[in-house]
Amino acid sequence: MKVKDAIRQIIDSCEGIYPAGESESIAFIVLDFIGFPRKLVFQNAEQEIGNENDDFIRKTIKEILSCKPIQYILGETEFYGLKFKLDARVLIPRPETEELVMNILSGNTLTSPVIIDFGTGSGCIAISLAKNIPNAQVFACDISNTALSIAGKNAALNMAEIHFFELDILQPEYDKIPECNIIVSNPPYVLESEKKFMHKNVLEYEPITALFVTDQQPLIFYNALAEIASKKLCANGILIVEINENYASEIVDIFSLKGFTDPTIIRDIHEKNRFVKAVKP
């Protein structure tokens, strides 16, 4: 199989599952994975990829057709310029969450902040912050031991020092949580009633507990995070969270009622309400 044939077969397999632009991106991701970076693909279009890679492409296409996300097929993804290992035990990091990291980095004025990432999953937020704020002391917690195991491996892979600990945000053990300057979280926020709008590749493969909240308690994690932040954030500390765009005003109200100042709704690159940021007075 030639390089150009591999690309065409992958794109064709994505038809009806992914939009055209995303199908092409997936093809380039797979080719890069087997040693043909995007910048070299076109100049090597006629090159044979080899029997071992032939088999890998066929296996990958079979899994694509089952709607398995490409990140889980390859067992890795890229986030904020770093490589992360992952499987179906942790959520696939989204590009919007890179904007969350970017907002923290652009707004940070401390040389040695103490940062806590609640619900760390793969560790992508915590590790990206640790790599870009060299003197930061970064903590990260999750309710899932298996998620923490993956996050620990990703910290080692990226040579980042992260202090991981197990914690249930809804029933926090406060003695485990250090005082800090920044609290960040991308908690579950998709309503169960919104499942009908989601693709099969999300519903059948990604961890449901990391995605969904009940329609009856859509803001349960934001109430919990506001309570934790009211006790553990230092003066002038920052609380910043990723949100369901339909509940931005309600989350602002939660943070205001907890005494935080200047709660601000931040839009993402698609102009959707995506984050809320507040300051502890």
Q: What is the pLDDT of residue 40?
A: 84
pLDDT at position 86 over 90: yes
Average pLDDT over residues 266-280: 97
pLDDT at position 44 over 90: no
Domain ranges of the chain: 3-66, 89-279
Average pLDDT over residues 108-116: 96
21 confidence band (pLDDT: 50, 70, 90): confident
Q: What is the pLDDT of residue 184?
A: 98
Q: What is the pLDDT of residue 16?
A: 85
Nearest to 85 by CA among 138, 141, 165, 155: 155
> Read out DSSP for the chain?
-BHHHHHHHHHHHHBTTB-HHHHHHHHHHHHHHTT--HHHHGGGTTSB--HHHHHHHHHHHHHHHTT--HHHHHTEEEETTEEEE--TTSPPPPHHHHHHHHHHHHH---SS-EEEEES-TTSHHHHHHHHHSTT-EEEEEES-HHHHHHHHHHHHHTT--EEEEE--TTS--GGGSPPEEEEEE----EEGGGGGGS-HHHHTTS-GGGTEE-TT-TTHHHHHHHHHHHHHEEEEEEEEEE--GGGHHHHHHHHHHTT-EEEEEEE-TTS-EEEEEEE--
Residue-averaged pLDDT of the chain: 95
pLDDT at position 109 over 90: yes
Separation of CA 89 from chain center: 13
Burial 16-30 (b: 16+ CB within 10 A, else e): ebbeeeebebbbbbb
Q: What CA–CA distance (Å, rounded) separates 80 from 83? A: 9
Average pLDDT over residues 211-220: 96
Contact 77, 84 (CB under 8 A): yes
pLDDT at position 18 over 90: no
pLDDT at position 39 over 90: no
Global pTM value:
0.94
pLDDT at position 212 over 90: yes
Q: What is the pLDDT of residue 194?
A: 94
Q: What is the pLDDT of residue 74?
A: 97
pLDDT in tens, 234-256: 999 999 999 999 999 999 999 99
Q: What is the pLDDT of residue 216?
A: 97
220 confidence band (pLDDT: 50, 70, 90): very high
pLDDT at position 85 over 90: yes
Average pLDDT over residues 139-149: 97
> Read out DSSP for 149-183?
HHHHHHHHHTT--EEEEE--TTS--GGGSPPEEEE
What dotted CATH number matches 89-279?
3.40.50.150
Q: What is the pLDDT of residue 19?
A: 85
Query: The tokens 């492409």 sit on which residue?
Result: 57
Determine how β-strand 76-79 pairs with β-strand 137-142.
Answer: unpaired
Give the up-direction half-sphere exposure of residue 132: CA atoms within 13 A in the CB hemisphere.
Answer: 21
Average pLDDT over residues 186-200: 92
Q: What CA–CA distance (Å, rounded) separates 136 from 278? A: 20
Average pLDDT over residues 158-177: 97
91 confidence band (pLDDT: 50, 70, 90): very high
Residue 265 one-letter amino acid? I
pLDDT in tens, 223-232: 999 999 999 9
pLDDT at position 53 over 90: yes
